[in-house]
Chains A and B, each alone.
Chain A
Amino acid sequence: MAKPLILVTMGTNDYPFHRLYNYIKSDLLYRDDRCEWFVQTGSCVVDVAPLNGRVEQLIPRLEMEGLVKRSALVISHCGIGSLNLMLKYRKRVIFVPRVEAHQEFSDDHQLQIAGEIKNKKMQIVYPHDDFPQLDFEQIAAEDIQTDPVDITNYELARIVNQKLTG
């Protein structure tokens, strides 16, 4: 049986995200061979690789989508692109918003968008929260969704089209 994949994505921006890296590095499952990890680091320097898995700075969008598709759990910064992909594949996600106070972004917009997420499979870890301990049994039992849902707002797209071409 395939090992459940834990995908970590820190986004494509130029700010490092050491806090998220320290969270995952401290979790026991990071050194547990029962899980497979993929860590997309962006600008974060990762000095300890997971026991079983890959670490890449940036990967093409299609490859990321393929990883999201087969992941049992995603741990992600709280960027809009990432949120879109996780909703599209109905993933279980732990979002960690980047904050200005830790020099993780130039502003706190990820906290703003985090406040709008009302999904029972999406957990937000705010700066004052402890990162939850990952539970292998729960991750292994995840019902993995691989078919995308089209979440595009076609009414807005129709209006944009009209404004651009009308």
Chain B
Amino acid sequence: MKRNPSILVIASSGGHLTQAMCAVSTVELELILVTNKNMLEDSPFARIHTIKDTQTNIGIHFLNTFSAARILLAERPRAIFSTGGPICLPFALLAKLTSTRFVYLDTMSRVVELSNSGKFIKRFGLFDSFLCQWQEIAEKNGAEYHGQAFDLGDNGYK
């Protein structure tokens, strides 16, 4: 079966997903989401997969690796994009093993240092592009900085 070229977006629900949706807002390929809780009714995603969330539970990360492999085999994305959290780690690992392009944007909510997922991905080189949303963190970690996913300014407040 011929698939549409697609981008796999990995983002935990809440802020990670909000940032991811801003960051992929100009992508015209089919978007497929992997998240931990699906609270979306109307979204730009053609399909949504859910996997278990964890910060440090190795067992869940191990099981998620199999889920990630299944999703990647089913979707065969052209590239993967993630804003974290830790649910992205098995995908980053498998992207490296399968030479799938992996673009990572560290979350805006970490203002003084990389997130734990960002540190892991950076340390083991599990990325093709690594972007930060705070200039100082980007400079300290040799990452790219192109601003934040959305504007924190006044935006016409009265």
What residues make up the interface of A, taking CB atoms closer than 8 Å to B? 11-14, 58-62, 79-85, 87-88, 90, 106, 109-110, 112-113, 115-121, 143, 145, 149, 151-161, 163-165
Instruction: Tell whether, in the assembled complex, residue B81 and residue A160 are in contact, meaning their CB atoms are under 8 Å apart.
Output: yes
Chain A residues with Cβ below 8 Å from B34 are: none
A153 in complex: contacting residue of B24, B78, B129, B151, CB < 8 Å: B151
Chain B residues with Cβ below 8 Å from A143 are: 158
Instruction: Tell whether, in the assembled complex, residue A80 and residue B26 are in contact, meaning their CB atoms are under 8 Å apart.
Output: no
The answer to the question of B96 belonging to the interface, with a C-beta cut-off of 8 Å to chain A, is: no
Chain B residues with Cβ below 8 Å from A58 are: 37, 39
Instruction: Tell whether, in the assembled complex, residue B14 and residue A13 are in contact, meaning their CB atoms are under 8 Å apart.
Output: yes
What residues make up the interface of B, taking CB atoms closer than 8 Å to A? 7, 13-19, 22-29, 37, 39-42, 53, 55, 78-79, 81, 101, 103, 105, 107-112, 115, 128-129, 131, 146-152, 154-158
Q: List 23 A-B contacts (CB under 8 A).
A: A61-B40, A61-B41, A80-B19, A80-B108, A81-B16, A83-B152, A84-B15, A84-B150, A87-B151, A90-B158, A106-B55, A109-B115, A112-B110, A120-B154, A145-B158, A149-B156, A153-B149, A157-B26, A159-B131, A160-B105, A164-B79, A164-B101, A165-B7
Chain A residues with Cβ below 8 Å from B78 are: 164-165
Q: Which residue of B lies closest to A143 (CB)?
A: B158
B150 in complex: contacting residue of A61, A87, A112, CB < 8 Å: A87
Q: Which residue of A lies closest to B145 (CB)?
A: A156
How far does the alpha carbon of A84 sit from the alpha carbon of B149 in the complex, in Å? Answer: 10
Chain B residues with Cβ below 8 Å from A11 are: 14
Chain B residues with Cβ below 8 Å from A12 are: 13-14, 37, 39
Instruction: Tell whether, in the assembled complex, residue A113 and residue B129 are in contact, meaning their CB atoms are under 8 Å apart.
Output: no
Report which residue of B81, B110, B157 has the largest number of chain A beta carbons within 10 angstroms of its beta carbon: B157
Instruction: Tell whether, in the assembled complex, residue B109 and residue A112 are in contact, meaning their CB atoms are under 8 Å apart.
Output: yes
Q: Which residue of B lies closest to A109 (CB)?
A: B109
How far does the alpha carbon of A58 sit from the alpha carbon of B41 in the complex, in Å? Answer: 13
How far does the alpha carbon of A113 sit from the alpha carbon of B154 in the complex, in Å? Answer: 15
How far does the alpha carbon of A90 sit from the alpha carbon of B42 in the complex, in Å? Answer: 22
Instruction: Tell whether, in the assembled complex, residue B14 and residue A152 are in contact, meaning their CB atoms are under 8 Å apart.
Output: no
Chain B residues with Cβ below 8 Å from A116 are: 111, 152
**11 more CB-based (< 8 A) A-B contacts, given A81-B16, A157-B24:** A12-B37, A83-B152, A116-B111, A117-B152, A118-B152, A151-B155, A153-B149, A160-B27, A161-B27, A163-B129, A164-B78
